[in-house]
Amino acid sequence: MNEESFSGGENHLKELIRNTNERFIKEDLTNFLKISSYTSNKEGIIEAKSFLTNYISNLCEEVIEIKGDMNPLLLAKVDGEIKEKLLIYGMYDTQPVSKEKDWLKKPFGAEIAEFPKPLDKLGKVIIARGAYNSKTPLLCFLNVVKLLKEQEKLPMSLLILIDGEEEQGSPTLLNTLKTKKNTFNECFDAYYPSLKQDLNGTSVLKLGYKGILSLNIKASSSNDESHSSFSSMIPNPAQDLIFVLNEIYSDRKFKIKSLSAPYNMTKRENEIMDKLMESIDLEIIKEKAGIKQTLFDDPKQNFIDYLFNPTFNISTLKSGYLENGVKNIVANKAECNIDIRFAHNVSTNLLLDEIKERIRELKRNLKSKFEITHNMGYDRSKVKEDTILVKSLIDSFKKLGVPTQVWPISAAAAPLSQIQSQMGFNFIVGGLGVGGYAHSPNEFVQLKSIQNSRLSNYLFLNNYRYNLVRMKNSADSS
């Protein structure tokens, strides 16, 4: 078989995708983005799940709904021109909305707008929670699969996993990977469609993700809230919690063994970083993320720290009197949510054990009671540049005239390591489309970039099928 046999009718299919783009945005994407499917909103989750089930029911041989800890996981089987399967991962839950007053448009209005300077150069955008992370890329991919099935031109078979609990650590997905392992036997690799172009239009492809450990830590005493005049003689959970946090991480350094040493970059990672620094503009990254202030002035050091340094983030810290005015009391409880991200090759279980042991040691001299809740955790993940997965994706961008910038790792986290460790698959996140402000006000997708997002999905599937068959034929002949 030659490459031409895989690309027959390619121009016709690309034209079909272009011609249906406006209708897709108006009739499909906008309606999906209007659904308020943040993880804890049962009504919105049910509506989004029903939307997706109806959307894919005619293109799938089977759609299985797996009951979740919180929300259902959808598993869809789609037959293509070859039986070998590619595992597709997506998510239909989103973060909740905060600071609604800061949004230019309603968070679940899916309205078209233009940003003020400097993002006015993007032109028209759709503003909605989930527009970037990651309901738009999910529906773009499903729509292309739908069109290809209707034309009987889907290059290969797919197994599609659609997660309703990603923002809570994907517990049902992770359990399914363990308990239904045989379901994935015919899959070769896994792909997570995403919008990964920067503001200049360059595709950014990241060869892995940091690991993450998310915890809730509570400190409490058996006292009622007392007048602050008693503070010298009674436990103060707020002070004890701050003391404990400082004994885990302070002065930008970890005090637990696994993360106490800096990350040791490999030779190849250093090479990639040197090449990146010749072309990357950190100001564009900051602009897209809404960042106005950084810790250091050195762009290269900021970027290396961003990708490789372990981070300790306090996302919630609360205690005491939180209403208006002043009330001088000794709080009887305090709590925080923290997340730790790391490029180190260590397990989240080891990190959790080290933190628990550290708190056990510290609380011997403290009167407050401590409770630790493990919210979520993924180990780091990596994929090699020379895999057919990476090559097929980059080639699909090249065919659309889009250059690719390869990063050694992403500073974000995703449940990719579990798919790798449980199934032995390579896993990549990538795709065309410009979006931003994930988890923040005014999350958006650039309107004109949606067409290339859909086109790249088709070209990627075509490339991957060709490369997979060629690899198998080569293996058989040898």
* Domain ranges, ordered by start, for the chain: 3-207+383-477, 213-263+309-378
pLDDT score for 293: 80
Element holding 401 (H helix, E strand):
none
In this structure, whether the domain defined by 213-263+309-378 belongs to CATH 3.30.70.360 is answered with yes
pLDDT < 50 stretches in the chain: 1-7
Tokens 């955790």, residue located: 377
| Residues 3-207+383-477, CATH architecture | 3-Layer(aba) Sandwich (3.40)
pLDDT score for 2: 45
∠346-352-357 over CA atoms, to 5°? 120
Q: How many CA atoms lie within 13 A of 193 on its CB side?
A: 34
pLDDT score for 6: 44
How many whole angstroms separate alpha carbon 47 and alpha carbon 34?
10
pLDDT score for 57: 92
Q: Using CA atoms in the order 76, 80, 83, 84, what is the torsion angle rounded to 10 degrees?
A: -70
For 202-215, the pLDDT digits (tens) are: 999 999 999 999 99
Give the tokens for residue 89: 């991962």
For 81-106, the pLDDT digits (tens) are: 999 999 999 999 999 998 899 999 99
How many whole angstroms separate alpha carbon 388 and alpha carbon 7?
17
Q: φ and ψ at 313, to 5 degrees?
A: -120, 130
How many whole angstroms separate alpha carbon 236 and alpha carbon 219?
9
How many whole angstroms separate alpha carbon 245 and alpha carbon 338?
10
The DSSP secondary structure of 90-130, one letter per residue, reads: EE--BPPP--GGG-SS-TTT-EEEEPPTTGGGG-EEEE-TT
List, as own/partner pairs, every contact residues 468-475 make where C-beta atoms lie below 8 angstroms and the sequence separation is at least 24, other chains included.
Answer: 468/82, 468/84, 468/156, 468/188, 468/388, 469/1, 469/6, 469/82, 470/1, 471/388, 472/84, 473/1
Residue 202 CB neighbour total at 10 angstroms = 18
Select from 182, 286, 169 the least CA-distant residue to 216: 169
Give the tokens for residue 145: 């699969």
42 CB contacts (<8 Å, ≥6 apart)? none
First to last CA, the chain: 17
Query: Mean pLDDT across the chain, nearest whole number?
Result: 92
How many whole angstroms separate alpha carbon 177 and alpha carbon 235?
45
